[in-house]
Chain A
Amino acid sequence: MGYGVTTSFKAGGQLHTVKTAVRQISVAPGTVLKGMWNERVYRIERLLGRGANGVVYLVTMLAMEENRERSSGSFALKMGVDAVDFQSEINALRSLEHQRRTQDGRVGRHGARPFLVDIDDADVSGQRIPFYVMRYVPGVSLKAYIYKNGADWYGLVGGKLLARLNKVHQHGWVFGDLKAENVLVNDDGTVELVDYGGLTAMGNSVKQFTELYDRGYWHAGSRSADCGYDLFSFAVLTIQILGEKELRERLKASLPQTRDVKDLQELVRNHPRLRPFESWLTRALKGAFASSEEAYRQWQELSHRLYRTSKKPHRPTPLWLKWFFGVSVFLLVISIALAAWGFDLRR
């Protein structure tokens, strides 16, 4: 079953927190950690973020050279609160990484640099704390990025996020806990997913989710991991980013018993910034996409059209017209050939 709503979220102006950390891990900047098993050494630089399941620090990996410490790069180091839950997150992330490496090959920017760098335990003031080290993503959250740069960017950045999700799905996984804080955008516009605590093998129950983005919460389907689950969360995320105020009002007004995905659809229809995405969002909310491949393609088509301001909506060429065209070309070729042949005969 679902591993629980372990994260806090804001709804109706109130902060809901369910799972409180069993142990509060806190490490001061400047502290040097050494992994117990792999013996790599890290210096804590600063806090990057804290969640219900762990705490993430920016660290410098230190390499010993002729008895002197030499820095060998910045990374993000996540320490887990609950050993079993955290190991489960590591297991899923490691399998995904393995598949990425073996199936995608070493081509491309991301093939060359693995996301997951080290897995180990450290002694933090007398306690053995499990941690993993990953690529540092120097970006800001998707929400912050859109607030800073404007809603015009959503089509582009949203497409990149969908491409990411699509990759995760291709490897047989569902991200699960997709929400604004877990999507980081770099200055160059590249998008990265962080927090793999919800990563679930397709067909299992989603391991971790946040109510607001959860299909079940909106009475719109199951909590079984399929690509539609992530696409639904993506739709809510879109609504949350482009129409935050309206979503908040609607949440405040609705009762859990009467809460319905139709509320979201209506919100999309009546919102100037969301309406351009209406056809896509409605399909995602209804779970009507056959695959995330298809969802990605449609998003791309839609967002490319978005900024090319033709007043009348673009209609796809009907099938009969394509056929008609094909047949005409065929006939034309035949007649030319016949003409040429006839011409030949007379000579």
Chain B
Amino acid sequence: MMKQILLITDGCSNVGVQPAVAAAQARELGIAVNVVGIVDYGTIGVLGGREIEDIAQAGGGISRIVQSHQLSQTIQMMTRKTVVQTIHQAMNKELRQILGADGADSVEALPPDQRAEVVRVMDDMSEQSQLRVALLIDASASMKPKLAAVEEAIRDLMLSLQARVGKSELSVFHFPGPHGGEEAVQDLEWTDDIGRAKRLFQRLNMRGTTPTGPALLKVIDYYQYDSHTSSSSAEEQTYQQEGTGTDGIWSDYIV
């Protein structure tokens, strides 16, 4: 299964562990972290911009800074890119073993016929693999005017996920929670039902702090907790060992 966290924020964290540290932890566990910064007026600031980049880099994902009207297509594209990237990385690793090629762009280096075959398999996998995306929404006070766009973007992403052949699920968290002790609150459990992704943030009590790092950790824990209780935990294990679960597929096509 492919696992992603998508963080949507509009500024700097100001409480708790550095978010990049949390993102690096996610990456270790096979979860890619993507980050979108939303700016509607002005800029996100040098600090905010750097933090967003750092989180995505540590989390092995992509970062983008966009306006709210671009949010839907941005997160759609990032999610898809990350799926392909995950497959691509796994495949490059194997290609290097098989061909002894060096560098990260082994796919490009293949002769046309083999490249065609490898990409065909990659396409099938990105269409058919299972996918889970946990959305983590910054709901600090400054995000309030953007939440309608966020909700629409979640609906839109759900629509794209539903169109995949492989089982795809989405879950939504926002942070900070209403009380001091809570880093993040779950709005939606794993689901593929678009009807449930409506009016998520209606009665939200928006506060000032931005505990991005702790909130990320909470989502990571949710992933972990979930994979222990789910019936497919045996499958999860192999996934984590291999990093991607794509082992052995390539050799059939390449050699």
Report which A residues bind B (CB closer than 8 A). 1-6, 16, 18-19, 37, 83-84, 87-88, 90-91, 94, 119-121, 128, 130, 203-206, 211, 216-217, 222-224, 255-257
Q: Which residues of B140-166 have CB atoms within 8 Å of chain A's CB atoms? A: 148-149, 151-152, 156, 159-165
A-facing mask of B105-117, CB < 8 A → 1, else 0? Answer: 1011101100110
Q: Which residues of B22-62 have CB atoms within 8 Å of chain A's CB atoms? A: none
- Asked whether A130 lies within 8 Å of B108 as measured between CB atoms, the reply is yes
Sampled A-B contacts (19; CB under 8 Å):
A1-B127, A2-B163, A3-B80, A4-B73, A16-B69, A18-B77, A84-B119, A84-B122, A87-B107, A87-B116, A88-B119, A88-B122, A88-B123, A120-B112, A204-B163, A206-B163, A217-B156, A223-B162, A257-B148
Q: How far is the CA of A119 from the CA of B131 in the complex (A)?
A: 33
- Asked whether B111 lies within 8 Å of A224 as measured between CB atoms, the reply is no
Q: How far is the CA of A197 from the CA of B162 in the complex (A)?
A: 21
B113 CB to nearest chain A CB (Å): 9
- Asked whether B70 lies within 8 Å of A18 as measured between CB atoms, the reply is yes
Do A216 and B159 form a contact, CB below 8 Å, given A204-B127, A204-B165, A205-B127? yes
Q: How large is the interface on B (under 10, 10 to 19, 20 to 34, 35 or more residues)?
A: 35 or more
Q: How far is the CA of A332 from the CA of B95 in the complex (A)?
A: 80
Counting residue pairs across A and B whose Cβ atoms lie within 8 Å, the total is 100
- Asked whether B69 lies within 8 Å of A84 as measured between CB atoms, the reply is no
Q: How far is the CA of A204 from the CA of B77 in the complex (A)?
A: 17
For the A-B complex with A88-B122, A216-B160 known, give 11 more contacts whose Cβ atoms are closer than 8 Å: A1-B131, A1-B163, A2-B76, A18-B70, A18-B73, A84-B119, A205-B163, A217-B72, A217-B156, A222-B159, A255-B148
- Asked whether B108 lies within 8 Å of A83 as measured between CB atoms, the reply is yes
- Asked whether A1 lies within 8 Å of B151 as measured between CB atoms, the reply is no
A234 CB to nearest chain B CB (Å): 19
Q: Which residues of A contact B228 (CB under 8 A)?
A: none
- Asked whether A90 lies within 8 Å of B73 as measured between CB atoms, the reply is no
Q: How far is the CA of A18 from the CA of B111 in the complex (A)?
A: 31
Q: From the candidates B83, B119, B162, name the one contacting A87 in the complex (CB within 8 A).
A: B119
Q: Which residues of B contact A19 (CB under 8 A)?
A: 77
Q: How far is the CA of A216 from the CA of B131 in the complex (A)?
A: 20
- Asked whether A205 lies within 8 Å of B69 as measured between CB atoms, the reply is no
Do A222 and B69 form a contact, CB below 8 Å, given A6-B77, A90-B116, A216-B156? no
Report which B residues bind A (CB closer than 8 A). 66, 69-70, 72-74, 76-77, 79-81, 83-84, 88, 105, 107-109, 111-112, 115-116, 119-120, 122-123, 126-127, 131, 148-149, 151-152, 156, 159-165, 168
How would you classify the secondary structure of chain B's contact residues: helix, strand, loop or mixed?
helix
- Asked whether A5 lies within 8 Å of B105 as measured between CB atoms, the reply is no
Q: Which residue of B lies closest to A6 (CB)?
A: B77
Q: How far is the CA of A65 from the CA of B79 in the complex (A)?
A: 51
Q: Which residues of B contact A94 (CB under 8 A)?
A: 116
- Asked whether A91 lies within 8 Å of B112 as measured between CB atoms, the reply is no
- Asked whether A205 lies within 8 Å of B70 as measured between CB atoms, the reply is no
B114 CB to nearest chain A CB (Å): 11
Q: From the candidates B119, B123, B160, name the one contacting A2 in the complex (CB within 8 A).
A: B160
- Asked whether B88 lies within 8 Å of A1 as measured between CB atoms, the reply is no
B57 CB to nearest chain A CB (Å): 17
Q: Which residues of A contact B73 (CB under 8 A)?
A: 4-5, 16, 18, 211
Do A223 and B159 form a contact, CB below 8 Å, given A1-B80, A3-B80, A84-B107? yes
Q: How far is the CA of A18 from the CA of B123 in the complex (A)?
A: 22
- Asked whether A224 lies within 8 Å of B163 as measured between CB atoms, the reply is yes
- Asked whether A87 lies within 8 Å of B149 as measured between CB atoms, the reply is no
Q: How far is the CA of A143 from the CA of B109 in the complex (A)?
A: 39
4 shortest interchain CB distances as A-B pairs: A205-B163, A4-B77, A223-B163, A87-B119
Q: How far is the CA of A8 from the CA of B73 in the complex (A)?
A: 11
